[in-house]
Chains A and B, each alone.
Chain A
């Protein structure tokens, strides 16, 4: 393919709208009759509401209604009506205001609605609630005693552990080198910058237009229709801009339910924005405890591998992520057992958070591999090469591509890995110990069914549309690049529409599959348009393309050019004139090519190299240098790709050193529910970051050869940092985050 846009550095096409405020988010849509709502959160972790007194709240000037489980209008009572595309199918999703039951601290228990936001907020302070508490458990260290084994999948694409291979217990017993350790990772909270919000516009014809913060307008629409008994024609969901989500907006959150409930009951438009504290009561990365046993020979070759993973979940849904499986996937080992267990506690249900499962699973195995390198005196890169797998070990399938060796080589060279001294505490800078470490990363690169539409207007403007989302990842720009590429148009001639249930259906925006899925559909639709344009071009009287076929031409600079003789071309304008000014529209469905992909698995890979400084007295860690080499298929937008990886690395710094929801187990409540106390990295914590994309060609993974990059940047970073800290200090920390108290 002759490319002019793909793989270059393209600024976000939605950037100007975002920085000038023209881009509107869910809480910024308005209607003249708009009411404002504030949700009231419960104070106990488990029990029942005894009384809920709204009389004082209703006296506030401007008060319209307080909805509680006592007075809420009829909603579906079937649990299954509350299921959404990302819900565990065997659970009982939260039904807000359904009855008096309390399942987790800060569960929504009332909704105050008023003519102004201020009045609604004041009302929320005046709702008086009494409870009967039941005993609760939020301490995973105690709750693990009742861990339940995962035996089957209950969500699309979330696999239960594979059957054990070989005999890991015996192989472990016989292995000359053994590593057996437990690895703990805490609850983390997504906390995108944009607060969860829904504005429901109540139209004159009683239909609803819903502006929702979501990673899937289709999912929100289905959820609302099922619960409120509405038809799809009555509910349009739009979400043109999303201010970050990281997986938190895959499932409809309770503000969507509450705002819709109020709008329907009051027959008025309603907006509900959650508070930052309430953002800590939605999904979250579950706490995990992984018991890993590695058996190896003296060279570090793996003989046995065992991961018994336990992860926290709620009492009402048996949500789980794939954690243990990552251990057995990437390294050659004939004897491997992976177990997954869930630990039910009185919390909200966890949810997919950037690289769900891999963030924790790869952290643990990559830390254990570093321990094995130390135990066998191996270089960490050599150790990984010694155990390198050319096949997906869990599924026994070939990789559609895996340029991980190139990541090791190029990453190590750029980082100057050869300067590392293996013995801990070998290097100092002032009061700091300096250390270097590395880890590998891996994430899936699936393709999902998606649809897109492309319309080329008579003036040569191309509009591409798909009901996907842009959660800040660059979907708008990616679609524009692929469209512009297909038709030889500059980006300025491409209009992108997304985030609307009126548009062709796209999958949930998550799992790093949007480029692969929506991108493939966009390319396909645009190609279909291009073929029609070509036919027009060839049909012109005396056309220089008269004897050419579609395969012989390129679309470049608004021309259809004969590849072998670029002096022969037809301008796009002439072709469109030939079409007599009629717009050319094509819709395309795209999905995985089962025939081509059969027998293969697809992943993105990374090698992350980190240098840290650790103050010897204070234990404070500075991540001074990170080099991340990524094998992510074909890069569509180099700039956006790099931003994704840098963002992922910053997340990795947070995961390694800072992020942690602090729960008071006496109250069963997360206490650090604000940005002052829940730490994520600030600019001062982020230093040199260098991203390399190694060349990786893959014509099996999907038609455009691109792999998603949303998650891979994060995976492996926390392990590389922990391994570098070990190299600096000689202290191995197996409980995240690695706060300074663990290093002194």
Chain B
């Protein structure tokens, strides 16, 4: 770990301005990812701006029926929040499928969005990695890539975004509220994370000086029909190899609203709203529908050796999550 300056943010404006004016400064939330990366010498911030005193720690119901999760609300607080459990059970399940109780108690909503990939090369400064040091190469492509992406990869990077929570947020169609030196704006969840392309070092569309202030959930939360399935190497404390968040609104067995997102397969939670509109809405909630959808959603998926098995697992996981969501509440 290197020496760095520590600053406690007293207001959003000041914090954003500080980071804009200090090359290499970073925000810190729960620190469960950033501090690890600092110990590994992967992140070398010159200054840490501690957001924890800012007023972003509450969960508030929004006038149109949605829910605002302050950026500092911990993953545990979100998962066990009564409104979340009741209206957005998909989000609770996804969060509780991730990390460990200790980590969830510390991890924040904002930090979870911005956690970095778990690619083993990214974590080890003795080896090259385009995401860590652009232009050095991507050894994962021909090396250890069991947990790497099968969709939306690029020549320069095949890393995944590791979050479980974000997969549910993508399926729910959340909105990320941010504030920076240029003012505040809302970013639709699908546009928050990006694909690696030729800039794998950039994970999101957030500007360096922008702070995530909250994540807003829409009014409809798939309360009646949702499922989160996480396929992993051990029953807890393991990142997803493939995960699927599925949510439906159904009327007489017909799908009227759907949100299906995958984790562990791409640089961002993988969702295709266009395909949902064309292949799910108005269709009967049955295996044929799920199967046709899965084929289209995963078209173009590509393995890199160790992760070829994801090509087999992803389709069944999508179908099973959709089935589980549709049948939620029914007697087995």
Contacts and interface: CB of A to CB of B under 8 A. Distances in A.
Nearest to B238: A679
A669 B234 contact: no
A617 B317 CA distance: 8
Interface in B140-155: 142-144, 146
Interface string B230-274: 011111111101000000000000000000000000000000000
A658 B1 contact: no
Interface in B281-322: 309, 312-313, 316-317, 320
B142 A666 contact: yes
B158 to A, nearest CB: 15
Interface stretch (A215-223, A580-588, A591-599, A681-689): A681-689
Contacts of B239: 676
A741 B118 contact: no
Interface string A647-684: 00000000001100010111101011110110101111
Interface stretch (A3-11, A117-125, A295-303, A451-459): A117-125
Interface string A578-615: 00000000000000000000000000000000000000
Contact of B234 (A618, A619, A682, A744): A682
B18 to A, nearest CB: 23
B137 to A, nearest CB: 10
Of A658, A669, A676, A744, the most chain B CB neighbours within 10 A belong to A676
Contact of A667 (B139, B312, B320): B139
A684 B1 contact: no
A658 B139 CA distance: 23
B331 interface: no
Contact of B2 (A125, A673, A740): A125
Main secondary structure, interface of B, reads loop
Interface in B56-90: none
A664 B144 contact: yes
Given A662-B120, A671-B144, A679 B233 contact: yes
A682 B317 contact: no
Contacts of B238: 679
Interface in B105-131: 118, 120-121, 123-124, 126-127
Nearest to A673: B124
A677 B120 contact: yes
Interface string A41-54: 10100000000000
A409 interface: no
Contact of A664 (B1, B3, B127): B127
B236 A684 contact: yes
Using C-beta atoms within 8 Å of the partner chain, give the interface range for chain A.
35 or more
Contacts of A618: 231, 313, 316-317
A120 to B, nearest CB: 11
B205 interface: no
B184 interface: no
A739 interface: yes
Nearest to B236: A684
A669 B231 contact: no
B41 interface: yes
A682 B237 CA distance: 8
A557 interface: no
Contact of A740 (B3, B121, B309): B309
A6 to B, nearest CB: 38
A121 B39 CA distance: 9
A106 B234 CA distance: 28
Contacts of B313: 617-619, 740, 744
Nearest to A430: B332
B121 A671 contact: yes
Contact of A679 (B127, B139, B234): B234
Contacts of B237: 676, 682
A675 to B, nearest CB: 9
A622 interface: yes
Contact of A125 (B41, B124, B126, B312): B41
Given A684-B234, A685-B235, A744 B312 contact: yes
A657 B233 CA distance: 8
Contacts of B2: 122, 125
A207 interface: no
Using C-beta atoms within 8 Å of the partner chain, give the interface range for chain B.
20 to 34
A620 interface: yes
Contacts of A657: 234
Given A125-B41, A662-B120, A667 B234 contact: no
Contacts of B126: 41, 43, 105-106, 667, 669
Nearest to B41: A125
A674 B237 CA distance: 13
Interface string A674-707: 1011010111110000000000000000000000
A740 B147 CA distance: 13
A674 B37 CA distance: 12
Nearest to A675: B237
Interface in A90-149: 105-106, 118, 121-122, 125
Given A118-B1, A125-B41, A672 B144 contact: yes
Contacts of B317: 617-618
A685 B236 CA distance: 8
B1 A740 contact: no
A676 B233 contact: no
Given A125-B2, A666-B139, A684 B235 contact: yes
B127 A669 contact: yes
B79 to A, nearest CB: 17
Interface string B20-59: 0000000000000000000001000000000000000000
Contact of B316 (A121, A617, A622): A617
Interface in B206-237: 231-237
B236 A122 contact: no
A657 B316 CA distance: 22
Contact of B233 (A667, A683, A739): A739
Contacts of B236: 682-685
B232 to A, nearest CB: 8
A741 B309 contact: yes
Contacts of A105: 126
Contact of A672 (B120, B127, B234): B120
Closest 10 CB pairs of A and B: A684-B235, A741-B309, A43-B126, A671-B120, A684-B236, A617-B316, A664-B143, A682-B236, A618-B231, A685-B235
24 contacts: A41-B126, A106-B126, A125-B1, A125-B2, A431-B320, A617-B320, A620-B231, A658-B233, A658-B234, A664-B143, A666-B139, A667-B126, A669-B124, A669-B127, A671-B127, A672-B144, A676-B237, A679-B233, A679-B234, A679-B238, A682-B235, A684-B234, A684-B236, A739-B233
Interface of B: 1-3, 41, 118, 120-121, 123-124, 126-127, 139, 142-144, 146, 231-239, 241, 309, 312-313, 316-317, 320
Given A43-B127, A618-B231, A672-B144, 18 more contacts: A106-B126, A118-B1, A125-B2, A125-B41, A431-B320, A617-B313, A617-B316, A618-B316, A657-B234, A658-B234, A662-B144, A664-B121, A665-B143, A671-B120, A671-B121, A676-B237, A684-B234, A741-B309
